[in-house]
Structure 1
């Protein structure tokens, strides 16, 4: 079963043998001198139809106005025509198949110059019995290179709320345990008092019976 997911948008069912494909957006913040995955997923709408696809990545640096091809993947082979990315790009998409749905690539050793806009183009051919159908899908990634990743305010608030919830649940559990203990204790004392009262009543009745027998004799 194949499942591609990072931050979900929509799900396209393919076929029972291929599972599900999820089209998602790529992350956009890369840390300098570290690796980064440029995500590009294009789900095949007709999962039962054989297909072949190629992927081409282009890059437009920040401040420029034209794209330059930096990576292509076709027939299970890759090519890096841009010397700026020699030995720094690696295929991170669908493996051992020409029917590509994940065209992601991985950037090794991100530099400040990698900031800019990346374009991923899927060129897919659906192979029907009597004809072939071609279509292109384009994905855009605006990459921002940062010195280090910072946590957003939403993430911090979520973590704080999680800890508050955990502490609140623990306090509630302690209160419930104390309440249950007191309730059981009170019920136990009432049961003891009832048992003692029954014992005294039986003893008193026995004493009266003995006195009546003595008077009769």
Structure 2
């Protein structure tokens, strides 16, 4: 094996290790459109930048009605337990974030039986204490705010539909291209085989004719 493939394999392994090291926590934009009478996940992720530093975090969710100016406490998760703080969401909120750890990075919650009254602005707040030493701590706060809309049924955007259509067109196009390539290769191989057979037949006839002439010359000499 040459050195180039070995180097490429080594780079690929290093890339996978880097992805595994940094891919444990990925901050994504939350969905903002819920369907009435169905469940909906309120996503909120705050990735800790230095994984080697110990940390303790808590998550607070707040809600603001479209016609209100201030947020009201909605849900709090700390020390492995969640508390619903808004009666409008009583028995309808479940923790979907990090579990079995005090170093929370995923603060997502899940709303069951979404209603049109759930439409509004949601605020997720991470309160994280970074523990560098026993005597040196740093407090950090991360906030994520977004507006959630509630619709009677899920609608698809034109961009989503066009993307799906283009995906199917690409798949069909690739299949057609593969079929054409297979036919072309088959014809090329078949033509090469026929040419080889013709050359073999020509060589055989030439050898046979030469052998016949040699035999005739031998008989005349005798």
Normalising by structure 2, we get a TM-score of 0.82
Measure how far apart 1:153 and its partner are.
1.9
Matched residue, 1:71: 75
Measure how far apart 1:192 and its partner are.
2.2
Structure 2 unmatched runs, 5+:
1-17
Q: Does 1:109 align with 2:113?
A: yes
Matched residue, 1:20: 24
Q: Does 1:86 align with 2:120?
A: no
Further displaced range: 50-59 or 112-121: 50-59
Q: Does 1:161 align with 2:144?
A: no
For 1:78 and 1:200, the matched residues in 2 are separated by: 93
Q: Does 1:148 align with 2:188?
A: no
Tell me: CA distance 1:213–1:99, structure 2 relative to 1, closer, same or farther (3 Å): closer
For 2:115 and 2:211, the matched residues in 1 are separated by: 100
Q: Does 1:178 align with 2:183?
A: yes
Tell me: CA distance 1:203–1:62, structure 2 relative to 1, closer, same or farther (3 Å): same
For 1:216 and 1:81, the matched residues in 2 are separated by: 121
Tell me: CA distance 1:190–1:67, structure 2 relative to 1, closer, same or farther (3 Å): same
For 2:80 and 2:138, the matched residues in 1 are separated by: 21
Measure how far apart 1:19 and its partner are.
6.7
Aligned length: 203
Q: Can you list the C-alpha shifts for 1:12-66, whole angstroms capped at 9, x where unaligned?
A: x9x96x9732222211000100011111111223322222222111111112212
Q: Does 1:49 align with 2:53?
A: yes
Normalising by structure 1, we get a TM-score of 0.84
Structure 1 unmatched runs, 5+:
1-12
For 1:58 and 1:39, the matched residues in 2 are separated by: 13
Matched residue, 1:7: none
- Report which of the two has the higher share of helix: 2
Matched residue, 1:210: 215
Further displaced range: 99-108 or 47-56: 47-56
What's the C-alpha RMSD, in Å, of the aligned pairs?
Answer: 2.2
Matched residue, 1:8: none
Matched residue, 1:138: 143
**2:27 counterpart SS class:** strand
Measure how far apart 1:209 and its partner are.
2.6
- Report which of the two has the higher share of strand: 1
Measure how far apart 1:193 and its partner are.
2.1
Further displaced range: 154-163 or 27-36: 154-163
Q: Does 1:125 align with 2:129?
A: yes
